[in-house]
Structure formats: structure tokens, C-alpha cells
Chains A and B, each alone.
Chain A
Amino acid sequence: MKAKVKFAIGAGIIVGTLSCLAWVGAQQSKTYYHTIAELPTLQGEALHQRFRVGGDVKAGSIQHLSGRVDFVMVGEGKSLPVSYVGTDPLPDTFKDGAQCLVEGKYMPDGRFVAETVQAKCASKYEAAPTQGAPGSNPSSSSPDTKS
């Protein structure tokens, strides 16, 4: 057999095996994105998937309880009560008003049980308007170019 053919067979086996692994991995970890507004409209099978939902943490809603942290996420005018039950400490960036991304399951009672919570980090902050700075109203005086 020519070396080229042998190589093609070897490559086929490798790519095939890895594709199978990728498929298994995708099945194990796939998570559906939904918006807060979409969650209550889901029905049947779709309700038992793993979800990832993004929104803002409602100011003053964070409650540290024993074994879990409860807070309310808001987005598109709707709100979603979330219970975080994961073991990892919440990220430093998680606070009132932060943009966050929760991953977990949606309960029939309308509560979201999250296993992981991510909050927008570091570099994300730059677009926030400056607040309380003298001499400029953040909304009306967006930075202007002089040159």
C-alpha cells in the first residue's frame, strides 16, 4: 500500500475518533441560551434542558442564605428569581447591577437554580458611563473628539 493511502487511513481514524469524542462532549455539556422573557414560554421537553440566561442583577436583591445565594435577574423588562447553589465562591464582579450569566435548570415554579454564575469582568467596564463626575452629565456629554 502506498504511504499516502496509509496516511489517509490513519488520518481518517484519528479524525473519526475525535469527532465521536466531540459529539459525546457536546451532548454532555450543551446548554441552551434563552432570554429571561423566553423561559416561561418554553414547554415540554425543552423545559428539562440546561439553560444559560443572561441579565442584570437587580439592585438590592442579593440575599446570602445558608447554602445558597438568592437574587433577581432582570432583562427586557422581565425578572427572574435565581438561586445559586454552586460551591464555588461568587465572582468578585458579582454585585448589584452587574451583568451576569447564569447556567443551570429552570424549575416548574418559575425559579432558576443556577450551578454557575459568571459576571462580566475587567475589560467590560469601560463602556459604563462616568457617574457623579463634576462638570459633565454622563448621558448628554458623551466624549467628543476635538481633532
Chain B
Amino acid sequence: MDLFGSYALLLAFLCVLYAIGGGIGAVVTRRPLIIKSARNAGFAACALIWVGFASLVYLFFTDDFSVAYVAQHSNRNLSTFFKLPAVWSGQEGSLLFWSFLLSIYVFSALFTYRGKHPELMPYVGIVLASVQGFFLILNNFVASPFRIFAAQGADGILHLAAQADGRGLNPLLQYPEMAIHPPNLYSGYTGFTIPFAFALAALLGRYPGEKWIHLTRRWTMIAWCFQSIGILLGAHWAYAVLGWGGYWGWDPVENASLMPWLTGTAFLHSVMMQEKRGMMRVWNVWLVFCTFFLCILGTSLTRSGAVNSVHAFAESAIGHWFWSFLGVCILVCVIAFIKNRDYLRSDNQLDSMISRESSFLFNNLILLVACVAVLSGTLFPVLSEAVRGSKISVGPPFFNLVNVPIGLFLLFLTGIGPLLAWRKTSTESLRRNFGLPLTAGVVAAVIAVAFGLRNFYVALCVLLSVFVASTVLSEFYRGARVISARTGSNLFSSAAQLTMRNTRRYGGYVVHFGMVLVFIGLSGTPFNQDKQMDMTPGSSMTIGPYTLLLQNFDTDQQPNYTAERATIDVDRGGKSLMMLYPQRRFYPSNEESGTMVAISSTLKEDLYVVYAGRSPDNNMPVIHAYLNPLVKWIWLGGVVVVFGTILALLPNRQAVLVVRPVAEASPASGEAQPAPVTFTARSQLPSSHD
């Protein structure tokens, strides 16, 4: 099976080479047969990568320990469930997994647009095949997962030397989230290749208009959605498994996943400027280029050993491959841009500071500044060594000082942006749209301060969160009221109809609302408390309103690990609330231990209890308890963000409504309705379409 897999990858590489060559031929000759042939090579490469990946999965499920990669990342005791995530738990497998996910995107893109856009697709095919080609070089020649163990026998010939059992999967990865976090994050990273390919193709082929933006909108959103899920799952894994009481530590690997997300978010917003007003063409092309570069940079950071990280893969020569690839990509993009930049000229200029355009500009500026700050903080050791000769790193205070105000400013823009009109907004409409939400925000902030939340940023965050939430709700309410008045249905079903009518806009609002929830969750951080104590059975500690009483502790012997665990009774106000069982597990197969945190989570706060080991003084358990307010809102917000993105991906459903054609046919009748001006005016804007 290892032979089968490695030959499949080798053939895939040949197909990719053919797809590149054929693509160039297609661009030059424009002959339909060559276009078709290059495309088919692309399909074949994808299918062969799937075969290669499937063989690696098969090797894992059949415990074939003659393959080095399998022996290093799995063992017989490993439960069947974790054999799949074990496939991408190491360098070689994760790179093949990259290729695999990328090939799904490539296949879907080639298949969706087969026979369409004959001017554009050959270029797209070349770019996609080149990116695939790079990863296939790694899969085939640099980091092949199909290497097998061999030992020199007495006859001087190498013989297969299968191992009796593997080393097992790292216990830290034996956690359900770890099974879904990498696929999501990698789907995000790889997904940005599609908009990148279309942007570069449009530039190379001087493809007219904003077509590539329409074509890639959904692809970008899908990639963005996966990236968001990946980041949040990673944070949740760090929180629930690593036992340090936090979910984000500004580690280079975390930063690497955040940076393309920031530029991707900027891109999702700035494309609207191009679609509606023909502005920011150069900017958009570069945003999507940079997003792709950051995806590659992120992958290389974790693999090259350039930056110290707790998560990093082993330092290896593979870093050079990534740096070279990144260099080539940048070079190609710069040359393409210089050659064809006249094609990207803007149609319009910024008319007013108080307009939708300027809010998008500020949104982009601020997201970019955040990205630059995170990038420079991450690369600080590399940069300082180059500039001053000494390697200096910066820690969380650097990232927090810069990114907290940025986050809050973004939240502010989230509130006002969608309600500002294109071109210019009157003071009157400002007052009408924002008077009430702003009052609600101020009232909420005053209440928060009165209740003791005396922290400037937290008070501001409460103000802005309530402000944004009310603007979102009022948008839904206004629209729903109009539909309800016309159709007689209730407000909720009207709101649903409204959403389905313009999924992109209202899905976007739902995403904004989800981000508000995330911000509310983040704002709990300044109020985190923690306490550590050596506890004997019968002793207790108090944290916040809770009293933790250690009832007893014991050892639990399981087939693949030994756990020390404490039984803790949690009281509040003299009443017993629940029992918590924090554990510390020791896995003899790879001599590693893992913490099983006991978390009791409510919307108000998380009680997070860690069994931190035995005290050297009296051999009694050391219990570390954290009280983290509002953390659950972050995960909740994440779910809402994903839901909103899915809504925005749905096609608009207009046929069910009689209202729209009537309103469009005679705008006067629409204005005669009691609907607020903003609603009717906006509904006449060119609706989003692909």
C-alpha cells in the first residue's frame, strides 16, 4: 500500500506538470482541445492525490508499522477514532493532508467552471496546478509519508524491518477537538488558494471587469469560515486541554493562523467597494495575494524553526522550500502587477468621510495594521537579529496593547459601517440610525460601571457591543416590519423571509452579531482570577463565590494510561452545586502526561480546576483553580459567526416574495409605505449576485 500511495503521488505530480504545460499551451493557442486536456490533467492530479491520501489512511487503520510515519504516530492501543487524526499529526502527513484538501478545492473549482470563462480558466488552472505542484514536490521528494523502515541484513542488503508496535499518538492530541481543528484550519489555509488563483489569473489575462470578484466571493467565504472555525477550535483546545487557564497566548503558531484571517476579513469587506463602486482594484488584488502569502508564511513558520514556538514542528530543511516558494510567488505577483497595473485603475474616488466607502477604508486600514502588528511581533526575533544583532522577542503585552484598541475600533465600525449610505450620509440619517443604539450602549456602559466593571476597555467594549447588537437588531426589525405589514405574517417569519431575500446582507449582520458575542466573551479577561493550593482531603479553598472542598484523591488504572484524580465538591452559598474530577494522566507508551481539566461552564463564568500534581512538601494534590468570566460567549459567538456565514452563502430567494417585484417596478409605491427611508433606498441598490 505504501508503494501504491507513493506511485499515486508521483503520477499526480506528473499530471500537475502536464496541467501547467497544457495550460500554457491553452493560453497561447486558445485551442479548445488543449484547454480541455489541461483541465482533465488537473482532475486526474486531484484524483491521484485522493488515492495517495487514502492509502496513507489505510496504512494507519491497518497498523502497518513498516511505514516509519505510521510507526511514529500511532500504535495498536490507539482507539480507532484517533487513527484518523493521527494521519495528520506529523509533518509528512500534514503536508499530504494539505495537498488533499487543496485538491478538493481545485477539483471543485475546475468542475464548477468547466466550459465557462474560457478566457480566464486556463490561467486559473495554471496557478492552481503550480501551487499543487509545490506541495507535491514536498510530498514526493522532501517529506514523503511513505518511507519505510529498513535495516541492513547480514548479506549487506537492506531488508524491510517492520516494527512490532508504534510510538503512539501524543496524548495532547488525543482529544476530539484535535480531530477537527486541523482539518478546519487547513481548509482555511488551502481555501484561500482559490481566490488567489482567480485574482492572479484575472491580472495575468487582463480579464475584464469585476468578474473574478463575483466568481470567488463564495470561495473566499468558505475559506474564511473554515479559518474562523479552525482558530476558535484551536483556542478551545488550548483552553480545555493544556490546563493553563487561557485560550490565546500570542504564540507564533496562533498568530500564523490569525494573520490570513485578518487580511481575509479585510478582503471580504473591500470587495464590496469594488463590486458597487469600482474602487480599490489594486488594493483587492494585493489583499488576496497577501492573504495567500500569509497562509504559506504561516505554514512555513511552524516548520522552519525560524521562530521559537511551543507548537512548532521539528526544525528541518523543509523551511527553505517554503521560503523559496514564497519568494517565487511574490516575484510572480509583483511582475504580473507591474506589467498589467493599468488594467486595475479605479472608476471612482472617495466622496465623503461619512460614507460606507470610508468606513470600509478604515476597516481595511485597521485590519491591516493589526496584521502588520501581529506579523512584526511574531517575527520580532528575526527582525531584531537582522537589524541590531541581538535576538529579542516581545510578549503578550505588546500584542494586547496594540490589538485591544484595534479590536474595539473594529467593533465600532461594525456598528456604523453597514448603516452608512454609499457616497455620502446626511447628519439627519446619522441621528435617526444611531441615536437609539448609541443611547442603549451608553446606558449599558453606565450600568456596567455602576456594577463594578471599572476598566476603561471593558466599559467601552460593553458600550460598543450593545451599540452594535442594537443596530443589527434594528436593521432586522425595520426590514421585518415592512414585510410583516405587507404580508401579514408575524415579525419572526418576516425576519426569516427578509434574510432569505438578501442572504449576503443579513447573513453578514448575523456574523457581526456573532463577533459581538465573541467580544463580550473576550471582555471578561481582565477579571480572571486564579488560586493554587496544596490540599489535603477535607480541606477547602475559596475562589469567587465558590468553595472547593477536596473530598479525596485516588489513582485510576486504565489500559493505556494511569490517572491521578481528585474528587472535589463545589459549594456556593453553603449549597453543594456539583462534583468536579480534575485528573492528571500518565501514558506509559510514550512516557508523557496529560492534564484533564474539570470545567464547569455557565454563561456568567467558567470554574476551571486543574490537578497540578503532588506537592513536594506533603505529597498531597496541588489544585489550581481559575475563575474565568464570560468565556462561554466566545464559543457561542463562534457558532453564530459560522451560522451567519452559512446564511450568507445561500442563494437569495426572491421568487417567493411578491413584494420585491412590485417595489422594484414602481419605486414610488415602495416609498409610500411606512418603511424607513434607509430600507427602501437600500433595497433599490443593485442586489448582490454572483
Contact = CB atoms under 8 A, between A and B. Distances in A.
Interface of A: 3-4, 6-7, 10-11, 14-15, 17-18, 21-22, 24-26, 28-33, 52, 54, 63-66, 87-93, 95, 101, 118-127, 130, 133-137, 140-141, 143-147
Contacts of B170: 122-123, 125
Nearest to B357: A3
A36 to B, nearest CB: 14
Nearest to B622: A89
B574 interface: no
B658 interface: no
Nearest to A54: B308
B396 to A, nearest CB: 7
Nearest to A34: B391
A89 B613 contact: yes
B163 A127 contact: no
A133 B164 contact: yes
Contact of A24 (B171, B401, B592, B622): B401
A3 B10 CA distance: 56
Nearest to B353: A6
A92 B592 contact: yes
B398 A29 contact: yes
B172 A121 contact: yes
Contacts of B165: 133
Nearest to B150: A144
A24 B398 CA distance: 7
A141 B591 CA distance: 23
B394 to A, nearest CB: 5
Nearest to B165: A133
Contacts of A144: 147-150, 158
A95 B592 CA distance: 8
A137 B311 CA distance: 28
B313 A123 contact: yes
Interface of B: 2-3, 6-7, 10, 68-69, 71-73, 89-91, 144, 146-152, 158, 161-165, 167, 170-173, 242-245, 302, 308, 310-314, 316, 349-353, 355, 358, 361-362, 365-366, 369, 373, 376, 380-381, 390-402, 405-406, 409, 530, 532, 590-595, 610, 612-617, 622, 624
B399 A30 contact: no
Contact of B392 (A30, A118, A127, A134): A30
Contact of A120 (B147, B152, B310, B362): B310
B71 A18 contact: no
A11 B162 CA distance: 62
Nearest to B164: A134
A35 B96 CA distance: 35
A135 B150 CA distance: 9
Contact of A7 (B3, B152, B358, B391): B358
Nearest to A125: B170
Given A6-B353, A10-B353, A26-B394, A93 B592 contact: yes
Contacts of A147: 2-3, 6-7, 10, 146
Contacts of B164: 133-135
A21 B457 CA distance: 14
B402 A25 contact: yes
B616 A30 contact: no
Contact of B68 (A26, A91, A123, A143): A143
- Where chain A touches its partner, the secondary structure class is mixed
Contacts of B593: 92, 95
A141 B665 CA distance: 78
Contacts of A137: 151
A134 B149 contact: no
27 contacts: A3-B350, A7-B353, A11-B362, A14-B409, A18-B402, A18-B406, A22-B398, A25-B394, A25-B397, A31-B392, A32-B392, A52-B393, A64-B613, A66-B615, A121-B310, A122-B311, A123-B170, A123-B302, A124-B313, A133-B164, A136-B149, A141-B161, A143-B147, A144-B158, A145-B6, A146-B146, A146-B147
Contact of B163 (A24, A66, A136, A140): A136
B594 A92 contact: yes
Given A14-B409, A123-B170, 8 more contacts: A11-B362, A22-B402, A89-B595, A133-B164, A141-B161, A145-B6, A147-B7, A147-B146
Given A26-B394, A92-B592, A146 B2 contact: yes
Contacts of A17: 405
B349 to A, nearest CB: 7
B90 A123 contact: yes
A18 B308 CA distance: 26
Nearest to B370: A18
A57 B279 CA distance: 57
Nearest to A145: B147
Contacts of A90: 613
Most buried by A among B72, B173, B245, B622: B72
B402 to A, nearest CB: 5
Nearest to A119: B310
Tell me which of B7, B68, B164 has the highest count of chain A C-beta atoms within 10 A of its own C-beta: B68
Shortest beta-carbon contacts, A-B, top 4: A127-B314, A143-B68, A25-B398, A89-B612
B353 to A, nearest CB: 5
A145 B369 CA distance: 46
B265 to A, nearest CB: 17
Nearest to B399: A25
Nearest to B392: A30
B162 A135 contact: yes
Nearest to A129: B72
Nearest to A28: B397
Given A92-B172, A144-B147, A30 B3 contact: no
